[in-house]
Amino acid sequence: MLKIMTPGPTQVRENVRMKRSIEVTNPDLDLEFYDFYKDTCDKLSRILKTENSSYILSGEAILGLEAACASLTEPGDRVLVIDNGIFGRGFEDFVKMYGGEVVLFESEYDRPVDISRLAAFLEKDSDFKYATVVHCDTPSGVLNDIEKICTLFDSHGILSVVDSVSSMFGQDICVDTSHIDIICGGSQKALSAPVGITLVCVSDRAFASMEARKSPISSFYANLLNYKDYYINKWFPYSMPISDIYGVAQAIDNVIEEEGFVQRHKDIAQAARKALTQAGLEFYLKSGFADTITAIKVPQGLTDSDILRIMKEKYGVMIAGCFGCLSGKVIRIGHMGENANVEDMKLVMDALQGALKELGFELSCNLKESFYAIFLTLSFI
């Protein structure tokens, strides 16, 4: 059986799979489902440490990113897009799609955003309706300090939109302390539910901005205002994917019930990177490593496709390559959610070492043994 160790989709726990198979009701007409949905959304808000309202949308996580831009952007609005990664730059497309004027704050892709440089930039120009930033940019695994960045936006009266798809649950997030207005996640990453659900949390200030628009939101499906009063009105904008929501609810309960969920991600990530370094491999990032993804440079003379093929065909382990400007340059391990466990990571390390050896690249230590030994020292600290 193939072991999926990609940076999303991730493995799905059996109790999540089983919850998706239970008998369903009519989500439009059954008032008890509205209570269940609201309770699940409230649990998400508690995990994110916020008084803001959370919502579960039917659609892969990119729906939340587009919905944030669709709901906030009016023609001619100036929007600041933080560009220090492939997905960070990707916000430009959504903003322009809805008539916004994009200003890019460009930064190196191999490290987090320099807060002091961003602060200096905003001192000169802060006339933006909102700004976008990616917490963990999935292609590189770089982790930006959203608390400092969004607090800086807030001090200039700029609304913030955060892509937390690859970091939500796996990294500690405090929405209220960070002054985040809209934060988006997905079901298939650290939450470890099947693909197809967007998680979004929206501040009152963001909703007020949407309601104060001079022009209507140019979308129905991606209109966040359609969700604002669902519980009061007992009305959803479309029939909710009830089985998917049952699964997400169970996955959220799994997170809540596991003491040290975030710490598990940190320990696995640190052990993996220390072992990979000891073995003589290099990372794409110079600094700012997320606890959910590690991007490893493809050793000189080898190809990502050969490494991935051997790991999959000979060892039954699937990790990921990359795309865009990182295509062919890195391979990525997704140690998030159900993937972030010792036994599966040992399989990854063994498969990676075996593939590299078959391709003529010898490591300087036993990768699996090194990882496990380092993990044991971390787990007892």
Q: What is the DSSP string of 184-222?
A: EEETTSTT---S-EEEEEE-HHHHHHHHT-SS--S-STT
Q: Is residue 5 part of a domain?
A: no
pLDDT value, residue 287: 97
Q: What percent of the chain has pLDDT over 90?
A: 99
pLDDT value, residue 378: 86
Q: Examine the domain organization and report whether 201 and 281 are in the same domain.
A: no
Please, how many CA atoms are within 13 Å of residue 235, restricted to the half-sphere of its CB?
Answer: 7
Q: Examine the domain organization and report whether 243 and 277 are in the same domain.
A: no
Q: Is residue 252 part of a domain?
A: yes
Q: Examine the domain organization and report whether 314 and 328 are in the same domain.
A: yes
pLDDT tens column, 260-309: 999 999 999 999 999 999 999 999 999 999 999 999 999 999 999 999 99
pLDDT value, residue 189: 98
Q: Examine the domain organization and report whether 187 and 292 are in the same domain.
A: no
Q: Give me the residue label for tokens 């800086």.
A: 152
Q: Is residue 320 part of a domain?
A: yes
Q: How far is CA 229 from the centre of its chain?
A: 26
DSSP secondary-structure letter at 267?
A: H
Q: Examine the domain organization and report whether 332 and 198 are in the same domain.
A: no
CA 109, 114, 120 angle in degrees (round to 5)? 130
Q: Is residue 93 part of a domain?
A: yes
* Domain end residue (candidates: 234, 257, 280): 257
Q: Is residue 2 part of a domain?
A: no
Q: Is residue 342 part of a domain?
A: yes
Assess whether pLDDT exceeds 70 at residue 76: yes
pLDDT tens column, 94-124: 999 999 999 999 999 999 999 999 999 999 9
Full-model pTM? 0.97
SS3 per residue for 40-82: HHHHHHHHCCCCCEEEEEECCCHHHHHHHHHHHCCCCCEEEEE
Range with the poorest average pLDDT among 89-98, 190-199, 370-379: 370-379
Output the six-digit token pair for 187: 């079901």
326 contacts 282 by C-beta, under 8 angstroms: no
167 contacts 173 by C-beta, under 8 angstroms: yes
* Domain end residue (candidates: 233, 257, 281): 257
Q: Is residue 8 part of a domain?
A: no
Q: How high is the mean pLDDT of the chain?
A: 97
Q: Examine the domain organization and report whether 242 and 317 are in the same domain.
A: no
381 pLDDT band, cuts 50/70/90, is very low
CATH, residue 124: 3.40.640.10
Assess whether pLDDT exceeds 70 at residue 16: yes
Strands 130-134 and 159-163: parallel
CATH, residue 340: 3.90.1150.10
Q: Examine the domain organization and report whether 207 and 225 are in the same domain.
A: yes
Q: Examine the domain organization and report whether 190 and 46 are in the same domain.
A: yes
- Neighbouring residues of 244: CB distance < 8 A, sequence distance ≥ 6: 20, 58, 187, 193, 194, 196, 197
pLDDT value, residue 204: 98
Q: Examine the domain organization and report whether 40 and 124 are in the same domain.
A: yes
Q: Is residue 85 part of a domain?
A: yes
pLDDT value, residue 1: 83
Question: What SS3 class is residue 235?
Answer: coil
* Domain end residue (candidates: 235, 257, 279): 257
Q: Examine the domain organization and report whether 163 and 92 are in the same domain.
A: yes
Q: Examine the domain organization and report whether 98 and 130 are in the same domain.
A: yes
- Element spanning 117, H or E: helix 115-124
> Looking at the 3D structure of the chain, how many domains does it have?
2
pLDDT tens column, 158-207: 999 999 999 999 999 999 999 999 999 999 999 999 999 999 999 999 99
Q: Examine the domain organization and report whether 325 and 250 are in the same domain.
A: no
Its domain, for residue 367, covers 261-379
pLDDT value, residue 380: 55
Over range 210-239, report the average pLDDT. Answer: 97
